[in-house]
Structure 1
């Protein structure tokens, strides 16, 4: 068994809970031993920029809290009791019963329990999310697949301009709300209706009408793909997978691809790109004096998950003019997922001396750095890469201190920033990222 020091993901149950709690008025019922739900919520509520508990999340989540007696004799009666009390107390539009390791091991038949509530006014579904089902990212996929297959009704007629977007994992992608909102803003300017499912303007109705969409847009080459394939098989809706677009270059490419797929007038999308570029560069132009005069160009190391690492690296290189040296993806990935990311990395590498690493163990990231760049501890003869900037998580603080680099937390876990509607996607998000980078550089003055 591989030992992972300071992992940046939890079990499947954790990902399921953060996903369910991000959906409006959807409440999880945790069928697991005491402590599972509270510990997992604690990790995500604090580690994702103090995201908080939301509606009936966190310590308010109903749980069966199984004890030794339930493990020996079965926890079905306890779950039945918990569902009854939950329906009596909590006002929700949908409940999802999630399972933990112990309930999966002892074989509790959750579906049999739910048949007792088939006449409930509020729908109740179940998701198998034992820890051995995978990481938190797998939990996200499991919840989406359950909703897309078992909750959405099949609808033959499609709404002309409706699209669904997903792929950003709540909490594991700390900026998921701001990123989804920016992509939604841009797509709406193309005349589209957009279901994001997780932003503040959404309701259960957005989830219900998702099967009427013309296209599913997955903002990830790694996560949400399985759910998108299940969606296509059940509802005959195709999907398009794209890396999260950050900055004018990637975002223009993204918008052109979407407009081509949906046969949107090319003049319309070109006008939108022109307007957004003009607005973006007006802001950038204002800081160009201090940027060039003070030589704010930096070498960069980007550390994060499979969703944001390459997107940020591409923006730094193609739009900001920085020099990325290492990109580190910290997720547990299958070989085929790594292959997809490798191909994407080659598209931005352009024969420069950049390296893409896969490392789940936090301490080994520094070891990899020292293996690539020899560190002269005397600091007298070191051929250093300086000035150096790390875009990573709160776990990279010690790493940055060791090598004298500046640091901005942009990936989970983020313990030193509060995140409300901040996002780095699109045009406005890229401006936010530039602003945050310069804030770190200037804060020492």
Structure 2
């Protein structure tokens, strides 16, 4: 029996709204989650560290002794890190750093008129809070993906939060701590979930070690629906990167695709979470049959078989049958996947026509798993179709553009007529007067 549900769009002509509604999608009610976590966020804002400890005891089953992880624990974790994992983290960080350094925006100045310039300066956020989950999987790669872009941007102060682990004495997982130490992050907080986001946003007068925690200016990083909801609640007090939901993969494939590769890639993202979305878009019934045969072989071999089956069988996953490449591209652009793989005869050409995706992986040798760890791209990406208006985490996330305007008298004179006319048209004559007075003084 097939695992994936099939949606057949062949011969159907749909409006953009109808197409979006027809596609598999996770049911993620951030608003309901926000109502659930609002008391936690407000409690942390009011009571600080005590509220975080109470919430950790309630949700994580541990009341951490240290909210701020001692430096000695960071050093101990790094000393005990498996050399192979250390080498892998170093390689991953080097590749991400190489990409971010090449993509970092530089200041640009434009002479609008002689004597009048506008310069765009790119200034790093001063202090950022980075969140790294610690639920079903330990994700040291997320330390890399959050920390390295911030460092390349020139962020002065980085604080990273990750959930306390009962089996590790109330500290975050040692591999997370080791990754922090490896990258030079010294301010690490043992807190997870909504309470961690609230603590990063609002700070605390005393963490219980005699020193406080200053609130940050920007919070980034992936998490579950409660983390996303907490981000929604603190937005405005701080900036956020996105309200990331469960991971998702879409694969656009034709009859040239290797079904074993396609099945493996669908499974790889389903492994994350029972709510993870795995969607295949194809015009080939033969490929669909072959992929289902591969799933029947590969899923039972997976460590997290039940989690994968639940994700693949859920309403957020499935197969979308299309008439051909044109309709396939329309589907994937309407879906706006976090991760989109292209397995078609001319994959590069098809990829160039994708307008909505967090990241696009082109051809049979660029699986999403590569992007998760060692492509040099970032794996913190927009989900739930938000790639229509949002981007993945990058060095740009941690930079702010500031316009610097410099005009001399002659340059201002050249703009006087237009500026004062618009001021009068808008009923704001004092705006125009502020320009005119600079010329009347010399009369």
Q: Same fold (TM over 0.5)?
A: no
Bigger-Rg structure (1/2): 2
TM-score (norm 2): 0.30
